[in-house]
């Protein structure tokens, strides 16, 4: 009985680690050829997005989502993102004005940004969704 009582906390810690597998940062970025460079909030991915065919990148909004996600909905500057699942199989859907823009399933690697998008806006710019799993996630 004493051995069982010693084992229970260890099992609970292991299960807690599975339940909180990491935090995903979610950024909504507007891209254009306005020549303004890269917004300071995007400095960590500056070298990656600088290879894309735009000259201006502005972070419109940002949030964080704990993974695994259980049908989480977040709103970013008028866009709604729904996500469900963990880092190895994360279902993502993006909507604007109730209109679906993207539905996909992705696998995230810690510290490796996933860029989704190129959705046109009324003013001719494009919208990207940048997802980054925290480095400490496994």
pLDDT confidence bin for 81, thresholds 50/70/90 = very high
For 104, the token pair is 């996909």
How far apart (Å, rounded) are the C-alpha atoms in residues 48 and 113? Answer: 9
Q: Where in the chain are the domains?
A: 22-133
pLDDT confidence bin for 136, thresholds 50/70/90 = low
pLDDT at 103 over 60: yes
- Report, as an integer, the average pLDDT of 77-90: 96
How far apart (Å, rounded) are the C-alpha atoms in residues 23 and 108? Answer: 11
């Amino acid at each position: 009985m004493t051995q069982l009582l010693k084992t229970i906390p260890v099992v609970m810690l292991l299960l807690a680690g599975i339940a909180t597998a990491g935090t995903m940062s979610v950024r909504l970025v507007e891209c254009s050829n306005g020549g303004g460079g890269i917004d300071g909030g995007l400095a960590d991915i500056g070298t990656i997005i600088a290879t894309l065919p735009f000259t201006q990148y502005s972070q419109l909004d940002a949030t964080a989502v704990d993974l695994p996600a259980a049908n989480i909905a977040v709103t970013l500057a008028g866009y709604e993102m729904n996500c469900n699942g963990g880092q190895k199989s994360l279902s993502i859907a993006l909507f604007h004005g109730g209109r679906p823009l993207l539905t996909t399933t992705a696998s995230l690697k810690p510290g490796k940004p996933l860029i989704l998008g190129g959705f046109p806006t009324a003013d001719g710019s494009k919208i990207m969704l940048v997802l980054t799993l925290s480095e400490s996630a496994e």
